[in-house]
Structure 1
Amino acid sequence: MASNLAQWGNKLHSGETTYSIVGNRKRWFMVSAVLMLISIGILVGKGLNLGIDFTGGAQYVVPNVETTSPEPAEEAVAEIAPGQEPRVTTLGENDIRVQLGEITSEQQQELTTALADAYGVDESTISFDQIGPTWGAAVGQQALQGLVIFLLLVFVVISVYFRAWRMAAAAIIALIHDLLFTVGIYALSGFEVTPASVIGFLTILGYSLYDTVVVFDKVNENTRHFDSQVRYTYAELANLAVNQTLVRSINTSVVALLPVSSILFIGSYLLGAGTLKDIALALFIGMAVGTYSSIFVATPLEVALRAREPKIAAHTKKVLELRESGETEVARTEDGSVRVGALKPGEHKGQGAQPKRKRK
């Protein structure tokens, strides 16, 4: 099995095996557009379940309860603070968290007593926190500012490093694609958005960016002198770069997703560590979609943005004209896509190459 994977990776790197990822970019763009529309629809229709760190409100943590049923807490809140809609969640195996809107100091003490009686615990063990709406709004604003600053810095750094603003634009769009999809899934799940969630969102942006930059570095290496030859177009050389880094992207993603999936499915659901769900879901979805975008969105989009540059357009036209006239030949895969770098001296039609026509 490992030997077969190694052989597959070697064939991808040499160009012997090639998948037309860039050539089918319209298909991937359509898939991404549908995913983005679904995510936007979920966000507009359902919205995010913002925690009190962003909306403000009161929070109780009742430890060592005999039952984690939310009904005793809901009844206590309905009696002391009618009109409030509490959110009761389980923390670990026998702790519960009760969140609701702002309450008065009298209601705070009465509700503490009511929760202690409802769950049969000592009143002094119940912890209470209250966050004002102004502080919560400031947290949300600072998180948004941090995201904008991060994206601007990414754009500047990539533009300077690769000397190509279109690569930076493609990377930013891929990051927004990952973030929007992850937030949409987060809204669909109904998980509460906490500061841990925001940390998870920023973490996946860094992970996705790392994967995209690795692919772009290979694209830059393959296309640095693309106009010094007339066998392959810029898009075909970029497609080779995606294929050459495909195994690395998959391996990195699998290695990263294994521990995150352990946190999400084993830690959160089997062991009941509810506080881990916020960041684990964001990391799991974000890493998976980040791998997809680095392969199927970032480089195809970069090629699409650069396709109309006069230098690249003229070179592509020249390569295709020479190929059609028979003055150049290329090896092709079964689906008809070009195998960059696979053609060997003396390779002819029977091996997948187009024969040269004799000039008159």
Structure 2
Amino acid sequence: MSKLGSLGHRLYQGEVSFDFVGRRKLWYSISALILLAAVVGLGVNGLKLGIEFTGGSVYTVTKPGVSVEQARSAADKVVEHTAPIVQSVGNDKVTIQISKDETKSATQVTDELSKSLGVKADTINADVIGPSWGKEISKQALTGLVIFMILVTIYLAIAFEWRMAVAALVALMHDLVITIGVYALVGFEVTPGTVIGFLTILGYSLYDTVVVFDTVKENTRTLSKQNRLSYSEAANHALNQTLVRSINTTVLALLPVAALLFIGGGLLGAGTLNDISLALFIGLAAGAYSSICVATPLLAQLKEEQPEMKALAKRVAQRRAADARAAAEKPQSEDGEGEGDSEDEAVPAGVVGQRNQPVGRRGKGRPSGKRH
């Protein structure tokens, strides 16, 4: 940890720097490949919408010692056209989701499940969800996402500038598409908890991006008054200043989410945790990547198109070329010049330097010049 803290200090002071902005073509290529895989997975597999969006019936069975396998075997005997979804929701309790395409009534399904599992019918809780309610939930989720995007754009355009708003929105869409694509590839069910996870990761990704943009804004406030750094270099320095903070925040956020996903949903079998934990896990990782490798390089690319930034980049290049020529024309000590010449050059013009007198013995009988 001390080494990481030392690295963060060196990054902040500019002693160490990773060229994220200069390698933006590499990051764009990596993002393009990931997005392509996500889009292909979404097109081939599609999203597995939960019963809240499609409609159907949910039966909660409470029985000591009941297992998911027993409940699935009983549900398979009941359904005729679709595959049931069976999940454990706690000790001695399982849920069985049956699609709306099944023709049997809730009473018939309850009676058959009670016989197969050996429980009383009144101990099985049945909830019937109509498809119209699911459509309303989907509409509200989409409306919330659109409103969120509009508010984000307005805020960034006012607090920063429109180029930062565009870069942040591109990063947000990048994270959203990747997360949805992973859901399609893995085959996890999309539920209202998943939608909550989507909105959460968008907020987190925006927070991380705004932190970087705020540092970029501070570092480039008087950038046009100098000729040492271009906008891309100043933005890259700001990114390095916040790099360790972004990594630490992401790691600390991923640890509890990973516990929910792999321990709660995987080892303990609490399938309901998978809905929100997978969205959070993929979204947090994608958000950290996009704020570092997508948003800031894209912002620098947009800013470099401004005439004043093009002029600044030209002045920086001219100064560096002049410095390089001056360094190449600087006389070297091995050019054959005497050491005395070098000493004379070190003395400012018009100033007589100290002369070195030869060392030797005074002649005998020569007065020393001292008075006795």
Correspondences of 1:188-337 after superposition (within 5 Å): 188-326=185-323
Structure with larger Rg: 2
CA–CA separation in structure 1 for the residues paired with 2:140 and 2:232: 40
Q: Shift of the alpha carbon at 1:105?
A: 9.3
Correspondences of 1:1-360 after superposition (within 5 Å): 2-64=1-63, 66-69=66-69, 70-77=72-79, 82-102=80-100, 107-162=105-160, 164-326=161-323, 355=327
Amino acid at match of 2:73: E
The CA deviation string for residues 231-281 of structure 1, in whole angstroms up to 9 with x for no partner, is 111100000000000000001011111111111111122222221111011
The CA deviation string for residues 170-213 of structure 1, in whole angstroms up to 9 with x for no partner, is 00000010111011111111111000000000000000100000
CA contact (8 A) 1:91 1:275 kept: yes
The CA deviation string for residues 321-358 of structure 1, in whole angstroms up to 9 with x for no partner, is 22123279xxxxxxxxxxxxxxxxxxxxxxxxx94755
Instruction: Call closer, same or farther: CA 1:224–1:93 in 2, change over 3 Å.
Output: same
CA contact (8 A) 1:35 1:181 kept: yes
Q: Shift of the alpha carbon at 1:107?
A: 2.2
Amino acid at match of 2:170: I
What SS does the aligned partner of 2:229 have? coil
CA contact (8 A) 2:54 2:100 kept: no
CA–CA separation in structure 2 for the residues paired with 1:175 and 1:3: 33
Structure 1 residue ranges (4+ consecutive) displaced by more than 6 angstroms after TM superposition: 103-106
CA–CA separation in structure 1 for the residues paired with 2:141 and 2:61: 29
Q: Shift of the alpha carbon at 1:93?
A: 4.8
Amino acid at match of 2:42: L
CA contact (8 A) 1:56 1:133 kept: yes
The CA deviation string for residues 40-98 of structure 1, in whole angstroms up to 9 with x for no partner, is 11101101110011111111121225332112211122xxxx32432223333543222
Instruction: Call closer, same or farther: CA 1:357–1:311 in 2, change over 3 Å.
Output: farther
TM-score by length of 2: 0.84
What SS does the aligned partner of 1:90 have? strand
Q: Shift of the alpha carbon at 1:6?
A: 1.4
CA–CA separation in structure 2 for the residues paired with 1:202 and 1:97: 26
CA–CA separation in structure 1 for the residues paired with 2:199 and 2:327: 52
What SS does the aligned partner of 2:94 have? strand
Instruction: Call closer, same or farther: CA 1:244–1:73 in 2, change over 3 Å.
Output: same
What SS does the aligned partner of 1:98 have? strand
CA contact (8 A) 1:182 1:285 kept: yes
Q: CA RMSD in A?
A: 1.9
What SS does the aligned partner of 1:326 have? helix
CA contact (8 A) 2:66 2:93 kept: no
Q: Shift of the alpha carbon at 1:303?
A: 0.7
TM-score by length of 1: 0.87
CA–CA separation in structure 1 for the residues paired with 2:102 and 2:258: 41
Instruction: Call closer, same or farther: CA 1:6–1:83 in 2, change over 3 Å.
Output: closer
What SS does the aligned partner of 1:91 have? strand
Gaps of at least 5 residues in structure 1 are 329-353
